Structure 1
Amino acid sequence: MPDPHSSDAEPRPAHSAPSSLLSRIKALLRPAPPADREGIRAVLEAAHDHSILDGESYAMISGALEVADKTVADIMVSRSRMDLLDVSLSLTEQMRTIIETGHSRFPVYEGDRDNIIGVLLAKDLLLTLSDHALDIRALIRPPVFIPESKRLNELLHQFRISRNHLAIVIDEHGGICGLVTMEDVLEQIVGDIEDEFDDEDEKTIFRTGDNSWRAMGTTEIEDFNDVFHVQLPDEDYDTLNGWLAAELGHIPRRGEHFQSQGLTFTVVGADGKRARWLHVQRVSGASSSPETHTP
C-alpha cells in the first residue's frame, strides 16, 4: 500500500471540486451577451422598464440602432419635393425662394432639374446682398452624390468626415431621386431638430414679404386667426397641422397646396408625422369660403 506520507505521492489540490462547481454555477447564472440587434433592444427595454435608462436616453440609443438598419431611401426628400435654384436666374429672383423656404442649403441646377451643378449655402449670400448683379455660380460648392441604398450610419460618418451637410440621392440608373441632409439623419436618433426659424415659446408666424408669411405647423389656430383675421375652426383641432391634416385627409406632404378663407397654404417642410412649416399667402380678391386642394 502506498505510503500517504511518501514524497512520491501526488498532492491533492485543496477544495478543487467545490471551486470547479462554483465556476460552473457562476457561468450558468451569468447572462449571455445579446446575439443580435433584437437582443440588444430587449436589454434596452429591460433597462428602461427598470428605470436604469430614462425615456430620452432609451429613445436616443434605440434611434442609433435603427439608423444602422435604415437606408437613405427611407428618409430622403423625394425629387418632386426638392427646393432647387435655377442658376440662370438673377440673385433677386433667387431670394424669393430662399426666403420663403427658409433652408440653409439649396441644390443648384442648370437647364434641367436633373442637372445638379452644385449646392448654394444661404450664409454665403450674407456678404453679397448689396451686389444684386452677382452670378451665384461664384458661390456654389461641388455637389455630393450618394446612392439611395446607402445606409444611414455610413452616410452620417461621410457627412462628418467631408463636412458636408447635404447630399443628392441618385438611383441605380444615375437619375436624381431626392436629397438628404445631416439633420434628416440626426433626427432619426434624437428626434425633431428645430431650425433657426423656430422659437416655440414666442413667435410661430414670420412675415416673409408684403403678402406672405411663414408659419410653424404647431401654430395655435386661435393665434393664427387673430393674426390673419380669419375663422379657421378650432373646435376639433388645436394647431394648423391638425386642421390641415383633417382638411387634406392625410398627413400633409411637402409641396402640397390648400386654399381656404382667402389664404393659400403651401407645405414647405414636413416629415412622416406632420407639417413642420407652411408658407401662407393672401390671395387678392379670393373668397373666404371656397376651399381647394392641389397635390
Structure 2
Amino acid sequence: KCGVPAGIPISGVAGDQQAALFGQACVEPGMAKNTYGTGSFVLLNVGENCPEPTEGMLTTVAWTLADGTTHYALEGAIFATGAAIQWLRDGIEIIDDASETGPLAESVSDTGGVYLVPAFAGLGSPYWDPYARGAIVGITRGTGRAELARATVESMAYQVRDVIDAMVKASGTPIVDLRVDGGAAVMDLLCRLQADQLGVSVLRPVEQETTALGAAFLAGLAEGVWGSTDDIAAAWTLDARFDPAEDRAGADALHEQWLRAVDRSRSWES
C-alpha cells in the first residue's frame, strides 16, 4: 500500500539523529557524534542501561538491533551554530558567503578577547533558557571582521563542550572521541578547536551523509550484509583526525571566559 514492491524488506527504521549516531559507528559507550547544522545535535552513547532523566538533555533509545541489543544515548540540542554564520552573512553582512568564515577566522590567531554568545532564540542544551539573548562581549577598538568570525567559530566549540561536559557528569560515561558531520565540520579550525576544548580526538569521516548511512547500516545488519557492529565500525572511513593539545590550561581558560559571557546573556528577557 505504501508503494514498496513486494519482497523488499524494511529492516532499518531510525530517527534522524539516532541514525546519524549509528552512521558514525558510535557503537560503544563513550563514543559521541555532533552534527553542525543550523543548530547542533550532540549524542553520546551511554550503553545498555537507560540513564536517569537529566536536566537540560534528552534521554533516548539510540537503537535496538535484531538480536535485541539496545543502546541508549543522551542527546543535547544546541539552537544556533551554523545560524550564527548565517547571521554574519545576512544580519551584519561581514561575509558574502558562509565558506568565507573559516579562512577569515584563521587569518587571526585569536579573538582578541571577544566572545559571541549566539542566543538568538534563547539557549538550548544544557541551559534551556528561552530568555537568554545574543551577546558580544570583550569588544575593543581593535576588534574587526576576523575577530568576530573567529569568535563565532569558537562559540560552536564552546557550546558543544558545554553539552558534552553535562552529559559526562550526568551519565558517568567518559567521552572516547567525537565524530563530526554537517556543513561546518569542513572547517579544520573548528575541528581543532573542538578537540582542544574536549581533550579528545575529533574524527571527521569521508561520508558526511551519516543519517542515510546509519539507516543503511541498520538495515544491512538486520539482513546479513554486515555480521556485527564490529563490521559496521570497520566500514566507517576516516577523512581527518584532529588531536587535542597536550596542555589543557589554555583551552580551559578560554572556556571559563566563555562561561562568563554566557552568564551575561542569560535571563535577559523577563
TM-score, normalized by length of structure 2? 0.23
User: Counting strand residues as a fraction of each chain, which structure ranks higher?
Assistant: 1
The higher relative CO (CA closer than 8 Å, separation ≥ 6) is in 2
Q: Please tell me whether Structure 1 or Structure 2 has the larger radius of gyration of its CA atoms.
A: 1
